[in-house]
Amino acid sequence: MRRRDVGESDERAQRRRLLLYLGAAVVGMYFAGAGAGFLFDDANPWVDPAISCAVVGGGTGAVLAWFSRRA
């Protein structure tokens, strides 16, 4: 039977935490964009700003996560 490496579970937990933080950042950016759209836009306050903020937030979070993983 192969012995499991101790660092393997830590790496898996770190990856899970990173995905959780990234998902929370995207959801937070969605609601921030929806709130900003509700305050400043009369036409379609929920869809357009929220989607653009979620895309920008998700892309930024993915790049930051990639760079922090490489460091």
So what's the pLDDT on residue 21? 80
* For the chain, domain boundaries: 11-70
Q: What pLDDT sits at residue 19? A: 81
Range list of H helices, the chain: 6-40, 48-70
Q: Are 12 and 4 in contact (CB under 8 A)?
A: no
Q: Using CA atoms, how far apart are residues 56 and 44, in angstroms rounded to an integer? A: 19
Question: In this predicted model, which residue has the larger pLDDT, 43 or 62?
Answer: 62
Give the pLDDT score at 18. 80
Question: Quick check: pTM over 0.75?
Answer: no
